[in-house]
């Protein structure tokens, strides 16, 4: 669902669920302007547990940034990603509802940045 939303916004999905023993990336996409987008996807059922995007804390952001660095240094990274014009970290939160309402999807471009 998150991948479809990114594709509808004009991005091309390059990789899904990339994993190593020490890191994981949910979605890696290429935006129309040449930006490589690392996207963290979080979901929750119902609203009682809070917004899924609230779960992307400083520790999780650091893990995603570390995973992105590992991906770019790996043999898995296609040249089009390694040579991207820019890089950013997006977040997608999906809330599912037990009462039959359609899921709510929120895409936050540039949700967080690499701190120097």
Quick: pLDDT tens for 40-88: 999 999 988 889 999 999 999 999 999 999 999 999 899 988 889 899 9
In CATH, what number does 2-112 get? Answer: 3.40.1350.10
3-state DSSP call for residue 49?
Answer: coil
What's the whole-model pTM score? Answer: 0.93
What does the pLDDT read at residue 102?
Answer: 96
What does the pLDDT read at residue 47?
Answer: 87
Going from N- to C-terminal start, the domains of the chain cover: 2-112
CA pair distance 95, 83, nearest whole angstrom: 34
Q: Are strands 12-20 and 86-96 parallel, antiparallel or unpaired?
A: unpaired
């Amino acid at each position: 669902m998150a991948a479809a939303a990114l594709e509808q916004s004009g991005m091309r999905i390059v990789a899904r669920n990339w994993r190593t023993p020490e890191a994981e990336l949910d979605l890696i996409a290429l935006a129309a302007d040449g930006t490589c987008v690392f996207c963290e996807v979080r979901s929750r059922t119902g609203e009682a547990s809070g917004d899924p995007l609230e779960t992307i804390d400083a520790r999780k952001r650091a893990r995603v940034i570390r995973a992105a660095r590992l991906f770019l240094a790996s043999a898995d990274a296609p040249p089009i990603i390694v040579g991207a014009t820019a890089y950013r970290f997006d977040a997608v939160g999906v809330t599912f509802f037990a009462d039959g309402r359609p899921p709510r999807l929120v895409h936050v471009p540039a949700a967080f940045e690499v701190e120097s």
